[in-house]
Amino acid sequence: QQQVKQSPQSLIVQKGGISIINCAYENTAFDYFPWYQQFPGKGPALLIAIRPDVSEKKEGRFTISFNKSAKQFSLHIMDSQPGDSATYFCAASSSGSARQLTFGSGTQLTVLP
């Protein structure tokens, strides 16, 4: 029940296109859903996060869409750039778990120039 399932495993997008990464969860106690971006040789860095009281959050070219009834959330990268090429992880946490993050398995995004 602690799992967060992420898809696709890898994604190739042309420059300027839209990248979409999906995640699903089972634990209804989760109340915080961040996305982390990881470049090779670096640790993950927080990109954007959402709470279930809103259905969408946008920061620049990055948008999280959240569907509470379906227990799904997704990351949309608009106007994808080669510099966005990285591995993206969704995650989830709850106040009952001392805010420990459960990570998805990751999506390796490649944006072609």
Partner 1 sequence: EAGVAQSPRYKIIEKRQSVAFWCNPISGHATLYWYQQILGQGPKLLIQFQNNGVVDDSQLPKDRFSAERLKGVDSTLKIQPAKLEDSAVYLCASSPIAGLEKLFFGSGTQLSVL
| Contacts to partner 1 by CB under 8 A | 4, 6, 32, 34, 41-46, 49, 89, 91, 93, 95, 98-101, 103-106
Neighbouring CB atoms inside 10 A of 51's CB total 10
Closer residue to partner 1 (CB): 14 or 100: 100
- Minimal distance, residue 29 CB to partner 1, in Å: 14
* Contact (Cβ atoms closer than 8 angstroms) between residue 10 and residue 110: yes
* Rounded Cα gap, residues 104 and 57, in angstroms: 20
Neighbouring residues of 85: CB distance < 8 A, sequence distance ≥ 6: 109, 110, 111
- Minimal distance, residue 100 CB to partner 1, in Å: 6
- Minimal distance, residue 30 CB to partner 1, in Å: 12
